[in-house]
Chain A
Amino acid sequence: MINYIFKRILYAIPILIGVNLLTFTLFFVVNSPDEVARLHLGNKRVTQEQIQSWNEQRGYNFPLFFNQSETGLNVIKKTIFYEKSVKLFYFDFGISDSGRDIKYDIKQRMWPSLAIALPSLLVGLMINITFALFFVFFRATKVDYIGVIFCVALMSISSLFYIIGGQYLISKLLQLVPISGYAQGVDAIKFLILPVFISVIYGIGSGTRWYRSLFLEEIEKDYVKTAKSKGLSEVSVLFNHVFKNALIPILTGVVVILPLLFLGSLIVESFFGIPGLGSYTIDAIQSQDFAIVRAMVFLGTILYIFGLILTDISYTLVDPRVRLK
């Protein structure tokens, strides 16, 4: 098992290198740092001199791959590629184009993201599975048919509408929760209710349908038919056999996205003014802070790969028949 995990981690390295090269090409070969500098120095009275020293401070003045003017290792080290890309591998994200330390900001901002994403995931999971079981119980009846149509309808609404509508109704008309904002500690609850609620509602359509199809797949299997023929009640078959066995794909599906929860939700966070990584990314995109976007791409990739490894491990834990090689 440990061997396997080790292998998986080794396998992740070339992928990370690939991602790194890709982002490097996107951000430096295409876009010259001069333009970035001008953007961040503001718009009143900017001189070429200032741009140069801005670039110097952030290490954007180096050549891309080889620095001919240096000697020894510095030929490679004093380059944009080394400074901006290789350093990511030991989690040195550097400073953002607006001058803040990125690692510090990421550490601060991942918790609010998690505070929204985790409850949304758990509550959503519960509700979706309940609905799915309900529809499966009534499969091939009107209830199921209407339910599926209802799910499709819910799925067809853009997430933006859920957010705009929810905020308008619950915060503005009913004045039940603050419209936006965030606080540390227990105070955060009142700010989290609405975004979590909206995320859950948004997920119902696709989630319920997905779990429903998982259960239906399971219900067709022979052992279920056997159990039924033994005269077990439908409810107990559903819970004891179908649900239990479908847990494996459900669990692994959840595990794979667990690490990504840290990244947060882009639009929910920015609508509700929650200082998480999602709104951090949006801000970076909108202010064209390439350093942050680059760091987030790398971080996102790492978390994704980490999720995959976790999934494999959880397979073995849940289902002892699976052996990792």
Chain B
Amino acid sequence: MDSLLEAIEINKSYEGHRALSDLSIQIPRGSIYGLLGPNGAGKTSFIRIINQITAPDSGKILFDGHPLKPADIARIGYLPEERGLYKKMTVGEQALYLCRLKGLSQNDAKTRLKEWFERFEIESWWNKKIEELSKGMAQKVQFIVTVLHKPDLLIFDEPFTGFDPINTELIKSEIRRLNKEGATIIFSTHRMESVEEICDHITLINKSKKVLEGPLKKVRDDFRTNTFKIAYTGDAEKVTSTISQNFELIDDHAWHDHREATVKLPEGTAPNALLQSVLPIAVVDHFEEVIPSVNDIFIRMVQKGSAS
């Protein structure tokens, strides 16, 4: 696998508190990578190490095949969770300043900013002060500044807080576009559901340790339990007794004008068997596999971890 970023056995402690223990992660080039875990799991510590804000106590970070070095920050874009802008500075001046700190020349920064401002239709904001903008507007400016220097690696720490649903969609589509253009993306969030549709790889971190990693599809497949949901219209008693003879009936309840049953099949049994037993006695309105959400998986992993 071709990794853009590889963390090897990273350890980091603060006074009396372990932030990361032996964390190894490979982030494939061109992926959208979800770094998931509850608050305080160590996500931000890890991201700060990638951004060279702090250094690990031990371990190594390889970026594009070489050990991470100060010059690499020009190739990384970082939107921190704790973010903000100078309130008294104008939007344009501030955007220019931040881009120049990333190493862009005055002219390059100006040309690219113009493009982005046109794309977001915010040209009229150029001479406004940040304090005159709403929070969502300021976040847009912040997003532009993060991606403007066309970094190879983009890191978003809780990116969607502060955005309304419309802007969230806008940002998501921009992120997908940047990804298509070649950028590798890291999402860090504790709101697992917010990245399920966008990430292709995930790592779950809990209490400084990696508990799970891999391509999102594989992770989900691993957690499939061969459980199906079947919605039907017909005699509930007859249907449930028929199902119970051959399979494990987890739940059966009325839902609007029909009933819905959740059934777990023995391993290796195809869903056809369940359908075949129900079809002669009821009308099947809907049939689907119950696929665990990342949230479910995470809760299951954490519970397993604390039980063992």
Are chains A and B native binding partners rather than an unrelated pairing? no
